[in-house]
Structure 1
Amino acid sequence: MTAPAPVRPAVRERWLARRRWARAAWLYAFMLVMSFFFLGPFVTGLLSSLKDNPNEYPPTLNIPQLTPAVIGHAWALGVQGSGDGWQGGLHPGRTVTFEVQVQSPPGAPQDPPAVTLFPYQPVSLVAVARQAQARDYATLDTREVARSGDTRTYRVTVRSPLLTRQTGETVRATLTEPDADLRARLGNGQTVPVRLDTPQAQERQYELNAGQTVELTRGPAGYTLRGPVFERTPLQVDVQRGQSIVGSTLPPSDRQDFGRSFAFRNVTPGVLGYTFNNYRRAFRETADPASGRSLFFSWVLNSFLYAFLRVAAAVVFCSLAGYALARMTFPGRNLIFLVAVLFVQMVPSQVNLVSNYVLLKDLGLLNLWGLWLNGLVAAGGVFLMKQFFEGMPRELEESAAIDGAGPLTTFFRVMLPQAGPALIALSITQFQGAWNDFFWPLVILRDNASFTLTVGLSNFRELYGGQGDYGLILAGAVLSAIPVIVLFVVFQRYFVDTGADSAVKG
């Protein structure tokens, strides 16, 4: 009986290499599937926040806001309307051209579409005066410019008239008193009188409410009003029965009447006003008209401040308490650990709601500082640091004691530098807990400007959710998730890395 031929080393190496590649492929495929389940909701919310209508059904991945050609059109329209392809808008003396393709089969009406500017006043969390509308100032002109078979291309021209003829600077107009002359506040805070030199402007001076952006020109007799600046130019196009709209410079924000009525919320959007419109709205529609400060921006800063204070307090107090419970011997140590750490974690925070609230109210701390004081020491953080210090070699403390170091010197100069991975993990968990904290900020914080981001987003849900305007809510949710995601991506390796094993050599 002949023995089997031995396997060549080269063949075996190739077989082992294929096995390794196959295992790596299965591992990466599994990780991709799991990442889809974990990141899928975030990616879906991110894509939906860019749409004009995130409630569309069935949902599609065809998002015009991410199409380079459409973004180019939004840039060009923004340049036509304001000279700024990023911010867009309609300024005095500007002319914007917008094209619409209408299909008119034989036997159908051959009339041009009915084009109108409609008012659009967005809902706001703060009380703001009604802004001037492009419909009240701008003029429209519609004419046919091309024909191909049954399809005709119409050019809609939007003109914003000049109240004066000279160029000027952009400022904010405000009324000092209901019956006083119109005055304007410049960028440096200076308030100056405005001269209205046309009958049309005299008739409309009180339509420019507080917070309305206008353009002025400086002359020897003072400042002369050029006209209001419109952030958006809403346009509606309607055709008759038998006709249909088959194309336009920008995709419509809303389709109705079986494709015979297109509504465009803004035909001078610019890139930020088109692709990132909901994100821009999150900041602009929460702006205080008196100061111009965005409440959403204040909420973000408050959340960062609260999270930073929580992290700083946890690093100091939790590390000290954890080291004392793990390394020091004193009467009642086990009882303190049982009651102050384990028992506190088992009791819901809602149990102490009334007592803590009354205490903070009596101290006058129903604000961000009271919120921080309420969660000054985290029991979970103390437990984490205690377990970490218990796993560190005692030889470190013995070496420090031989050199004459006391308990505080040993802690700050020997033990704490070795606790880097635990401190990073503690900081991440505390930051995430503070950033996502909702219950206590909702109870303690009273003023809109002092809200954290989670409480502010709940106001978004109450105000915009009832109207089905979920794009703005999704934009706020995406912005609130980004800091936590960045934090985990940057510091994730510290969860598995530990320097305790290498602290003692030999």
Structure 2
Amino acid sequence: MTVLPAPRRARVADTGERWLARRRWARAAWLYAFMLVMSFFFLGPFLMGVLSSFKDDPNEYPPRLIIPQLSAQYIGAAYDLGVQGGGGGWQGGLYPGRTVTFDVQVRSPGGTPPTPPAAALFPYQPVSLVSIARFAQARDFARLSLTPTGTSGDVRSYRVTVEYPALTQQAGRVVTGQLGAPGDRLTATLEDGRTVPLTLDTPEAQAVQYTLSQYQPVEVVERGGTYFLRGPIFERTPLQIDVQRGQAVVEGTLPPSDEQNFGRSLAYRNVTPGILGYTFNNYRRAFNETANPATGRSLFFTWMLNTFFYAFLRVAAAIVFCSLAGYALARLHFPGKTLIFLAFVLFAQMVPAQVNLVSNYVLLNDLGLLNLWGLWFNGLVAAAGVFLMKQFFEGMPRELEESAAIDGAGPFTTFWRVMLPQAGPALVALAITQFQGAWNDFFWPLVILRENTSFTLTVGLSNFRELYGGQGDYGLILAGAVLSAIPVIIVFVIFQRYFVDTGADSAVKG
């Protein structure tokens, strides 16, 4: 047998250690690469949905990862336009007595006549789940002009000016409100809830008396106790730019929301957007287009509150009933325990909920519980939650109960003061799963809930799909879906460590 010299043996050993280290790093790299690829497949659709929820046209192809709504340049421009419109840099809108300027640059290739583009305000009436009133349009009240501002090569710059004159020249305190019910005299409901008669002091104001619908947002001037109609308020100022054949719009204060006629007709859905009306337009629409104009309450906000309330009831019931049933099945001895576990826990999880659809619906209808309380009563005890708590209690040391019995504690005292405090990780896991299940529940809420004011988010979003999906307005649907996913993500991220954390084993000292 050949014996290597000591220096050579050291080099061989060192080479072997480096080879093993490279192998470990290679395995770790492959593992992380695999996790990154899988996270892309799992999170990719969600992240793409979040990104598309900001777009004016989420159906664009190919889809862009860098969009104008998240660009600092255009966000700043939207802020400035909202300030010019009078509604502020965040809310936006067009108010009486304001003038807004919007710049566009048109390229006219050599040989093409330098014909200026045509600019016009067009009507834009959003679809609403609640309101059927047709609100006033900016094009009926504002004046528009287009002037050239310069030339650079074959690119000519133009400025579109939107001027919205006030209906009254009276000076005084300016307040906002909405028009009251039609009657002999025009009235307005102010922000403080007072209803006041309006004085129409100019021919322009008198001309719009019968064209403004009820609940139209308006601005009025108060002077000496008399209120004068200053003009309606517009959340949107839609603008359309048309160029001649061969010309192209190369730049603008904001990019167009839509292009038609081979890029010669460009639509800007709002040139006074503010940040909320530009970057978060679809999210704002989710609340505004489900609002009842009579009360100002948003159905989407009501759906969120209903879902939180239903989820809270589900979590509270699961913590109480599932922990009690799980402990009884795991630790107590009574006749028929195995039969109860097989019939009411395992078998209940095997039977689809649709099998009991008719019988449960008839029962709840007879009890008058076709509402959130009936929805909660239908899933009062979760079989999966009982199974989870039973398995957890069976894995806890029996020395805890023996120590409690020596101290004279009964079964309920042992459960309440000894076992339940040690079941924190299982209770948190149970609460998370029940919250997620209640938040995403769709089948039973769709069957039981009748009134749109009692809908949960999942049922409300299905109405979004029916109303807006046929029009291809998927930005609003995606915005609602993202808003509905945020609470579940937050709850899971905060409490995820409790899924793997357990302190039961440390309760007994050896």
TM-score of the aligned structures, taking structure 1 as reference length: 0.96
Distance 2:189 2:132 in 1: 17
Q: What are the equivalent positions in structure 2 for 1:105-124 lying under 5 Å apart?
A: 105-124=109-128
**Are 2:413 and 1:412 aligned?**
no
**Are 2:505 and 1:501 aligned?**
yes
User: Match of 1:93?
Assistant: 97
Quickly say closer, same or farther: Cα 1:312–1:264, change in 2 above 3 A. same
**Are 2:155 and 1:151 aligned?**
yes
Distance 2:436 2:384 in 1: 13
Distance 1:167 1:43 in 2: 50
User: Match of 1:199?
Assistant: 203
User: Match of 1:172?
Assistant: 177
CA contact (8 A) 2:121 2:238 kept: yes
Deviations 1:396-419 (A, max 9, x none): 111001111111111010000011
Amino acid at match of 1:174: L
User: Match of 2:345?
Assistant: 341
The SS at the match of 1:498 is coil
What's the CA shift for 1:179?
A: 3.3
Amino acid at match of 1:447: E
CA contact (8 A) 1:49 1:472 kept: yes
What's the CA shift for 1:128?
A: 3.0
In the alignment, which of 69, 75, 81 is matched to residue 77 of structure 1?
Answer: 81
User: Match of 1:478?
Assistant: 482
Deviations 1:337-372 (A, max 9, x none): 111111111111111111111111111111111100
User: Match of 1:331?
Assistant: 335
The SS at the match of 1:7 is helix
How many residues of Structure 1 are paired with residues of Structure 2 in the alignment? 505
Q: What are the equivalent positions in structure 2 for 1:454-469 lying under 5 Å apart?
A: 454-469=458-473
CA contact (8 A) 1:51 1:65 kept: yes
User: Match of 2:141?
Assistant: 137
Query: Which one is further off, 44-53 or 494-503?
Result: 494-503
Amino acid at match of 1:414: V
In the alignment, which of 223, 231, 235 is matched to residue 231 of structure 1?
Answer: 235
Deviations 1:56-93 (A, max 9, x none): 11112131111111111111111111251111111111
Deviations 1:91-135 (A, max 9, x none): 111110001111122332322111000000000111331111100
User: Match of 2:4?
Assistant: 3
User: Match of 1:375?
Assistant: 379
What's the CA shift for 1:28?
A: 2.6
Distance 1:170 1:128 in 2: 26
User: Match of 1:27?
Assistant: 31
Q: What are the equivalent positions in structure 2 for 1:251-400 lying under 5 Å apart?
A: 251-400=255-404
Distance 2:461 2:252 in 1: 35
Amino acid at match of 2:375: L
In the alignment, which of 426, 432, 436 is matched to residue 428 of structure 1?
Answer: 432
What's the CA shift for 1:270?
A: 0.7
CA contact (8 A) 1:98 1:157 kept: yes
CA contact (8 A) 1:175 1:181 kept: no
Deviations 1:32-59 (A, max 9, x none): 2221111111100000111110001111
What's the CA shift for 1:173?
A: 2.0
CA contact (8 A) 2:87 2:94 kept: no
Distance 1:23 1:414 in 2: 44
User: Match of 1:215?
Assistant: 219
Distance 1:70 1:378 in 2: 50
CA contact (8 A) 1:168 1:215 kept: no
What's the CA shift for 1:15?
A: 6.1
Amino acid at match of 1:184: A
TM-score of the aligned structures, taking structure 2 as reference length: 0.96
Query: Which one is further off, 129-138 or 25-34?
Result: 25-34
Quickly say closer, same or farther: Cα 1:167–1:262, change in 2 above 3 A. farther
Distance 1:168 1:400 in 2: 74
Distance 1:426 1:91 in 2: 52
What's the CA shift for 1:16?
A: 6.0
User: Match of 1:53?
Assistant: 57
**Are 2:42 and 1:38 aligned?**
yes
Deviations 1:269-290 (A, max 9, x none): 1111101100000000000111
Question: Could you say what the CA RMSD is over the residues aligned between the two structures, in angstroms?
Answer: 1.6
Deviations 1:130-170 (A, max 9, x none): 11110000000100001011110000000111112336444
Alignment identity in percent? 74
Amino acid at match of 2:176: V
CA contact (8 A) 2:239 2:271 kept: yes
What's the CA shift for 1:25?
A: 3.2
User: Match of 2:248?
Assistant: 244
Distance 2:305 2:446 in 1: 17
Amino acid at match of 1:474: L
CA contact (8 A) 1:109 1:242 kept: no
Distance 2:220 2:319 in 1: 54
User: Match of 1:402?
Assistant: 406
Instruction: Specify every segment of 5 or more residues in structure 2 that has no aligned partner in the other structure, as ranges.
Output: none
Distance 1:81 1:109 in 2: 34
Distance 2:184 2:436 in 1: 51
Query: Which one is further off, 135-144 or 30-39?
Result: 30-39
Distance 1:240 1:255 in 2: 14
User: Match of 2:130?
Assistant: 126
CA contact (8 A) 2:147 2:160 kept: yes
Quickly say closer, same or farther: Cα 1:128–1:146, change in 2 above 3 A. same
Amino acid at match of 2:9: P
User: Match of 1:183?
Assistant: 187
The SS at the match of 1:92 is coil
Distance 2:299 2:58 in 1: 24
Amino acid at match of 2:353: S
CA contact (8 A) 2:175 2:222 kept: no
What's the CA shift for 1:10?
A: 7.6
Distance 2:212 2:22 in 1: 74
What's the CA shift for 1:472?
A: 0.4
Distance 1:147 1:278 in 2: 36
Q: What are the equivalent positions in structure 2 for 1:433-444 lying under 5 Å apart?
A: 433-444=437-448
CA contact (8 A) 1:49 1:278 kept: yes
Instruction: Specify every segment of 5 or more residues in structure 1 that has no aligned partner in the other structure, as ranges.
Output: none
Amino acid at match of 1:457: L
